[in-house]
Amino acid sequence: MRTKLIAGNWKMHKTIGEAVALIDALHAALPTIPADRQVIVCPTFTALAAVAARPHGAIGIGAQNVYPESHGAYTGEIAPGMLTDIGCSHVIIGHSERRAIFGETDAFIAQKAAAALAAGLTPIICVGETKQERESGRAEAVVLGQVAGSLAGLSDRLADVVIAYEPVWAIGTGLTATAADAQTMHAAIRGELRRIGGAAADVVRIQYGGSVKPDNVDELMAQPDIDGALVGGAALVAESFARIANYK
């Protein structure tokens, strides 16, 4: 039985004051978390310390990015150990916005995942096809290629990573993959994980992301290979993220 992971990606939103108000509202709305799921939020770097310092509830903390070196002359970057130091347990890696806007490659993402794992962080490695790739029938090949490339050299660490399948056309658009289409891709991803790492594939959590909302979360979470959600827009409103975390 895989523990589902519900993660809120706050992206580049919320000042420190706004972030504190949101985490306080979430702690109030989710005082306890059922044992079958884990809930985390991923604020901006500038708000991490303030969010981590709030009276602790059951909600964990992750970061949205990391650099694959422990220290050094990397102006503007953040090391894995700095994230654990501030209280993070997870880090999102290779989000489609980082791939598209900042040119992150599978190889760089694999380096980041390795560095995160070495520091004791759980990497949430994002994969997903564009609209054009889906319409040309290449969605599965693209996604499985990203899975293999982003896990290069990590076949013995599979059990410690999380994969987030996020079709790019569904992120922030209000469009969602149907639960059946998402399940088909998740099963294909698990097949690829099995090819890479054998039986460990069965313990890897594969989140779905892309316009997850209170009104579609229950059906998505009921699919056998969907092990949680990576939530953007709906994670910025306490009431909707709490409802998503309380999926039935």
**Which of 59, 79 has the CB closer to ligand PEP?**
59
Q: Which of 97, 104, 133, 166 is catalytic?
A: 166
Q: Which of 95, 104, 129, 192 is catalytic?
A: 95
Alpha-carbon distance of 89 to 117, in angstroms, equals 10
Residue 62 is a binding residue for ligand PEP (CB under 6 A): no
**Which of 99, 190 has the CB closer to ligand PEP?**
99
Q: Report whether 165 contacts 143 (CB < 8 A).
A: yes
For ligand PEP, what does the binding mask look like between residues 200 and 229, x meaning CB under 6 A? ---------xxxx-----------------
Number of residues near ligand PEP (by CB under 6 A): 14
Identified binder of ligand PEP from the candidate list 151, 233, 243, 245, rule CB under 6 A: 233
For ligand PEP, what does the binding mask look like between residues 171 and 200, x meaning CB under 6 A? xx----------------------------
Active-site amino acid positions: 95, 166
Residues that bind ligand PEP (CB under 6 A): 9, 11, 166, 171-172, 209-212, 230-234
